[in-house]
Amino acid sequence: MGMLPHRDALIFVDNHDNQRTDGEHVITYKDKRIYVMATAFLLAHPYGLSRVMSSYDFNALDDRK
């Protein structure tokens, strides 16, 4: 399938960059049901090294404004 070998892959649901986009197809904590399902799948699937991000709530795309 063209995927990296298990030992070389770092997998995650989201990161700080994609949380701050208006992307239509980005999974973030703001859609709790889908986010919890994606995180559960990430942790249950036997591929790569999983990373779960801890973050905070924000109202603006750029908190510096």
Give residue limits of the domains in the chain. 6-50
pLDDT band at 36 (very low <50, low <70, confident <90, very high): very high
In this predicted model, what pLDDT tens digit does every residue of 2-22 receive, in sequence order?
889 999 999 988 877 776 666
Going 32 to 38 to 39 to 44, the CA torsion angle's sign is: positive
pTM over 0.75: no
**Residue 15, C-beta contacts closer than 8 angstroms, at least 6 positions apart:** 53
Cβ atoms of 11 and 48 within 8 Å: the answer is yes
| pLDDT confidence of residue 37 | 95
